[in-house]
Amino acid sequence: MSKVKEQCACKKETEEEKLTRIAEVIDEYKMKEGSLIQILHMAQGIYGYLPLELQCFIADKTGIPLSQVSGVVTFYSFFSTKPKGENTIRVCLGTACYVRGGKKIIERLKELLEIDVGDTTSDGKFTLEVMRCIGACGLAPAITINDKVYKQVNPDKLQAILKEYY
Ligand code: FES
């Protein structure tokens, strides 16, 4: 059987092509009530994040004031104004995880990745975030990497966990 890998075309899409797609989304949604959040979701999906220039583009195309667009982007935590890494690590800081060493996990990850919470490694591999309880309190402390949950994590296990993503 052939092992030719299919290459995703998204990464090759130029800035201009992405903006054209976002403009199409805006044309489709802008007349609908409460469409700004939907437009922002779609734009983030296409562009990866919502930098100020893109917020200006959206404000311009929708006729919604930039202050309102930026207000929505900063209000909701699922919108990001910085590019995200290939993998997102989230450390639970709910009560159980916090008490059982969640903070040490963060400190170790900051050291290993050489970034702060909210930042992305220079190779674009990881973004580090914190989150609230994910319901794995009995096996705290917990972290997630993308959709995978790691339970009873201790700082010494982290290097091995990160290696799975290289
Ligand atoms: S507090 Fe971390 S999983 Fe519940």
8 Å CB contact between 41 and 50: no
Of 53, 75, 97, the residue that ends a domain is 75
Beta strands in 68-133 (DSSP E): 87-92, 126-131
Give the burial class of 159: count Cβ atoms within 10 A of its Cβ; 0-12 exposed, 13-18 middle, 19 or more buried. Answer: exposed
Question: Residue 161 has which token pair?
Answer: 């966990």
Query: Residues 20, 70: one domain?
Result: yes
164 Cα to the center of ligand 1, angstroms: 23
What is the enclosing helix (H) or strand (E) of 42? helix 35-47
Query: Residues 141, 102: one domain?
Result: yes
For atom 1 of ligand 1, which residue has the closest CA?
A: 94
Per-residue pLDDT of the chain (166 residues; tens, 9 = 90+): 444 445 566 667 898 999 999 999 999 998 888 899 999 999 999 998 999 999 999 999 999 999 999 999 999 988 989 888 999 999 999 999 999 999 999 999 999 999 999 899 999 999 999 999 999 999 999 999 999 999 999 999 999 999 999 8
Query: Residues 35, 55: one domain?
Result: yes
Range of the domain at 19: 10-75
Query: Residues 124, 70: one domain?
Result: no
Q: Which residues line ligand 1 (CB under 6 A)?
A: 92, 94-97, 133-137, 140, 142
The ligand 1 atom at the shortest distance from the C-alpha of residue 94 is: 1
> Which amino acid type is present at position 71?
G
Domain count, the chain: 2
**For 70-99, b where at least 16 C-beta lie within 10 A, e where not — what string?**
bebbeeeeebbeeeebebbbbbbbbebbbe
Q: Is 46 part of any domain? A: yes
Count the neighbouring beta carbons within 10 Å of the beta carbon of residue 55. Answer: 22
CATH number at residue 92: 3.40.30.10
